[in-house]
Amino acid sequence: MTARIGFILKGYPRLSETFIAQEIANLEARGFGIDIFSLRHPTDTSTHPVHDEIKAPITYLPEYLHDEPTRVLRAWQRVKNLPGYAAARACFSRDVARDITRNRARRFGQAMVLAAEAPAEITHFHAHFIHTPASVARYAALITGREWSFSAHAKDIWTIPDWELEEKLPEALFGVTCTQAGADQLNGLGTPKSGPVSLMYHGIDLSRFNPGTEHKDSSTLRIISVGRCMPKKGYEDFLDALALLPATVTWSFEHIGGGPLLDALKQKSAALGLADRIVWRGSQPQAEVIHLLGRGDVFALASVNQPDGDRDGIPNVLLEAMAMGCPVVATDAGAIAELIGHDETGLLVPGDDRPALAYALAHTLERMAQDTDLRKRLGLAAQRMVRAGFDTRLWADRLAGHIAKQVPRAAPSKTNKSAP
């Protein structure tokens, strides 16, 4: 019998977090029982095929405490006399003294509901992202006497204060993260109970990414990109790069992804005189993403590190493009250089020189446009590398083994588990 684990997620399901859904599906296929606890309701109007494979029950915790006051009060009445409640309340009090926000209070309220409503058969809490979801998991674990762990990714590592990481890390049973840069950062701040934070790449389900034989018009460079329209994705710089391409390069650009900057990017593309060559498709399910990757000549991503620390890890869409044999142009921001070897499996430009970024991107895209042999060489090399080292089954086996060693199969003792 394997463990039954409560996964605490920011929101579920989300089109932009396929890697989390794939991980849950992989663990279920390996016999783990999963219960999903989501801090937010879904906002996407469609899902990916992997979401249909997941059997885990979903509980939506109160997104805003004032929307469900009776539920929160009932949870408090059930957990206030548990042995771990005083320690959880003291932990919360220390945290809120350094972060006096409604969001912090919401985390504790959600944790009480999680502690009260989680089935007793759940042996462990696991949070995806070490910021908000990990806070909820941490408080709920203290209340109920369970252990907790985390998967850290990118923004969550780099944008929360060191004091919070330094306190969370030694309290977690174990932690994993999806980039070496993230592992190095976290291990420099603390060590979970079972040892240093482990590197676990996500990988992708390669069976979904099969390069086709679609005819491509060699007279037009079809540039494609997939990503949320937000500052760290660098689409403003990318539009500037497109505007710098010489008239000798005939190109088109197609983008998939939603996000807060989408309307502003559409307006900028029109102001630059590029609108008639660009298609903004908004959020799309995975089948549409794969179709786009199959007909692109170049996949481009202009990620940039933000002043507040926000940055990319290794965007899964880069793995997906490379698995389809689509040559990649990207910056070296975040942990992207862990994946792409310059002039070996893609072309990289420096992401830390914002004034020069558009010029560097334009020069690189022009090089791709002029050299079809280069595109073919990079696309094939990237495809071989991803298929050899980023198969989700490989990393799922490693993660499953890691969890099996750490997570208890029996429920916590009756004195500490959630009240009936």
Six-digit token pair at 253? 């650009």
Q: Cα separation of 3 and 35, whole Å?
A: 11
Over 65-127, what HEC string results?
HHHCHHHHHHHHHHHCCCCCHHHHHHHHHHHHHHCCCHHHHHHHHHHHHHHHHCCCCCCEEEE
Query: Topology of 4-203+392-406 in CATH?
Result: Rossmann fold (3.40.50)
8-state DSSP, 249: -
User: Do β-strands 124-128 and 174-177 pair in parallel, antiparallel, or remain unpaired?
Assistant: unpaired
Q: Quick check: do 4-203+392-406 and 206-389 share a fold?
A: yes
Q: Tokens 């977690």 identify what position?
A: 172
pLDDT of residue 216: 61
Q: Cα separation of 155 and 16, whole Å?
A: 14
Q: Which residues of the chain have pLDDT under 50?
A: 414-420
149: three-class secondary structure by DSSP:
strand
Q: What is the DSSP string of 191-221?
A: --TTSSPEE----B-GGG---------TTSE
Residue 256's closest CA among 214, 301, 218? 301
Residue 299 CB coordination number (10 Å): 26
338: three-class secondary structure by DSSP:
helix
Q: Using one digit for the tens of pLDDT, what is the confidence trace for 79-131?
A: 999 999 999 999 999 999 999 999 999 999 999 999 999 999 999 999 999 99
Q: Cα separation of 248 and 281, whole Å?
A: 27
Written as one letter, the residue type at 185 is Q
Q: Cα separation of 48 and 53, whole Å?
A: 10
Q: Cα separation of 175 and 192, whole Å?
A: 7
- Write down the number of H helices and E strands in the chain: 16, 13
Q: Tokens 């004091």 identify what position?
A: 163
Q: Cα separation of 27 and 403, whole Å?
A: 10
Six-digit token pair at 296? 């692109």
Question: What's this model's pTM, rounded to 2 decimal places?
Answer: 0.90
Q: Is 206-389 a CATH 3.40.50.2300 domain?
A: no
Domain positions in the chain are 4-203+392-406, 206-389
